[in-house]
Amino acid sequence: MWMVALVILLIVGVAVLFVARQQQASTLSTLQANKAVFSSRLAEIEEDFQQGLLSEKDLANAKRELQKTFVTDVHDPDEAVEAKPASLTWIIAILVVSSVGLYMLSGSWQQQRTADEALATIEERFAALQSNRSGAVDREELELFALGLRQQLEARPDAGAWSMYGRIMMQLDYLDESLQAFERSRQLDPNNQSTLVMYSQVLVASGSDPDLARAAGFIRQVLEESPRNIEALGLLGVIAFERGDFDRAVQAFELTLRLMQDEDPRYATIERALQDARDRAEGNVITLTVNVDISETLRNEMRPGSTLFVFVRDPDGGRAPVAVYRQAVSDFPITVNITDANAMTPDRKLSDLENWLVGARLSTTGTIELTTGDMEARPVLVEGGVSQSLSIRITEYIE
């Protein structure tokens, strides 16, 4: 591609120089013609003077009028007309602009070529992914397959393919793209239970209160048709748990376990979730529930893929957080629950502190360290040692 760009640049350069030479030649011809007319007219005046038709005064006046007539075209009638090289300044400027344009065109062309190759090899890549039994999928290969699939979907929309694209985006941690894909799939096939369950999983991962509400609605839709759907029941428990409704979470997890086989690989995970929900419902686990919102001004400035950190510090023990909750977010408000399980070190837990200094930060880098472009809330000081809820609002932009 760079060779093509170079050839085009050379052609542009030659064309510009040719135009410059043509303009120079045109200017030169005009000057020469004007000088010839001036000389001829001057000779006629002098001949009239020699023949006595003009006095010396008339001769002087005639010469003065002649010079006025041609002053614009011939500044010095006696000056020899010389060919000067065309100015290179504007030629160089055009070539520079052309170079930048071709560079940008080259980058766009490269992206399009990659996309075209991904589309052309989509069947081959899909077969390779299907035959891969190791479970270790190369990220680059998965992204190329997704790129080809996305192009195919734009040309031929399909509910099942959009659902597949959504699962791939979720696996690649592209949360917003995954949500968009599942929504496209749902619009094409509103009652597909598999799509609704997967869509709900991504909404739960998003974690915002509106997304949790949408997920709950989709799960109810699935359970109305399939009351014994294990995936839907498990998600119902997770949604209740995330909302702080631990009694309902216990009910959902208990029903899920009754429908599962003991050898099911998910059984142990649901069993642990059930015990955690029971402990919280009975007050055995000190839980800090934080509702995080953001100002409307900063909401419009949120960057895709931002990460929310909600953290608790000891107001008398330095700036290092004792407990941290981390989650990728796409919208607010969002409710998080912080317990001893979120402690940074096993020897210093949330329940050990007499007071909690609670803060929240929206990071653009995925790390808790404060950087330019981050957003945060003013910290809130509350008494520790007991389960409680509080609200906090992100209002400050870090310059």
Task: Say if residue 333 is preceded by a cis peptide, omega within 30 of 0.
Answer: yes
Cα-based distances in Å from 215 to 52, 111, 210, 222, 292: 112, 36, 9, 11, 19
44-53, 115-124, 202-211: which range is least confident on average? Answer: 115-124
| Residues 27, 34: Cα–Cα separation, whole Å | 11
Q: How confident is the model at residue 74 (pLDDT cuts 50, 70, 90)?
A: very low
Q: What is the model's pLDDT at position 382?
A: 95
Sign of CA dihedral 243, 244, 246, 248: negative
Residue predicted with more confidence, 185 or 176: 185
DSSP string, 49-72: HHTTSS-HHHHHHHHHHHHHHHTT
pLDDT for 69 beyond 60 = no
Q: Is 31's pLDDT higher than 50?
A: no
Spatial CA neighbour of 308 closest among 197, 394, 213: 394
Please list, in sequence order, all residues whose beta carbon lies within 8 angstroms of the beta carbon of residue 91, skipping any fewer than 6 positions away. Answer: 13, 16, 17, 20
- pLDDT recorded at residue 337: 92
Task: Give tens-digit pLDDT for 205-216.
Answer: 888 889 999 999
**pLDDT of amino acid 53:** 62
**Predicted confidence (pLDDT) per residue in 273-316, tens digit:** 999 999 989 888 899 999 999 999 999 998 877 899 999 999 98
**Digit-coded pLDDT (tens) for 127-142:** 555 555 555 566 777 7
Backbone angle region of 179, left / alpha / beta, with phi > 0 → left and psi within -120 to 50 → alpha? alpha
User: CB burial class (10 A; 0-12, 13-18, 19+) of residue 272?
Assistant: exposed
Q: Which two tokens stand for residue 183?
A: 């929504």
Closest by Cα among 217, 169, 222 to 194: 222
Looking at per-residue confidence, does 64 or 356 come out higher? Answer: 356
Residues 6+ away with beta carbon under 8 Å from 200: 214, 215, 218, 219, 232, 235, 239
Report the range of poorest mean pLDDT among 79-93, 147-161, 187-201.
79-93
Amino acid 154: pLDDT: 84
Name the residue among 165, 224, 175 with its Cα closest to residue 195.
165
How much is the mean pLDDT over the chain?
79
Which one is predicted more confidently, 362 or 105?
A: 362
> Residue 281 class from Cβ within 10 Å (0-12 exposed, 13-18 middle, 19+ buried)?
middle
pLDDT digits (tens, 9 = 90+) for 144-154: 778 888 888 88
Judged by average pLDDT, the poorest of 125-134, 247-256, 298-307, 352-361 is 125-134
Supply the pLDDT for residue 336. Answer: 92
More confident residue, 294 or 102: 294
User: Which residues, at least 6 apart from 364, have a Cβ–Cβ distance to it below 8 Å?
Assistant: 303, 306, 371, 373, 374
14-18, 36-40, 46-50, 105-109: segment of lowest average pLDDT: 14-18
The pLDDT > 70 percentage for the chain reads: 66
Confidence of residue 6 (pLDDT cuts 50, 70, 90): very low
Instruction: Give the pLDDT of residue 207.
Output: 83
Residues 6+ apart with CB under 8 A from 15: none
pTM score, two decimals?
0.64
